[in-house]
Structure 1
Amino acid sequence: MNINPKNGVGELLFGMKQQHIMAMLGKPDKEFKDEDKNVIYLYNKHKIRLTFYEDEEFRLGYIVISDVNAMLFDKPVIGRTAKEIQGELPQKQFKEWEVVEEDGIESTFNEDNWLMLISEFGEIIKVEVGAVIINDEFDWKFSG
Structure 2
Amino acid sequence: MKNTLITSLKGRSVFGGELLFDDCKISFRNDTGLFWLNIVVFGFLCLTNALSWHSHYNSTDLFDQIIYPLSVFICIFYIMITIIKYPTAKKMNNVEFKPENLKSVCITKTYFSINFTFKLQNSTQQKFKCKQDWKTDKLIAFLKKSEVELMYE
More helix by share: 2
The structure whose Rg is larger is 2
Tell me the TM-score normalized by structure 1.
0.25
Tell me the TM-score normalized by structure 2.
0.24
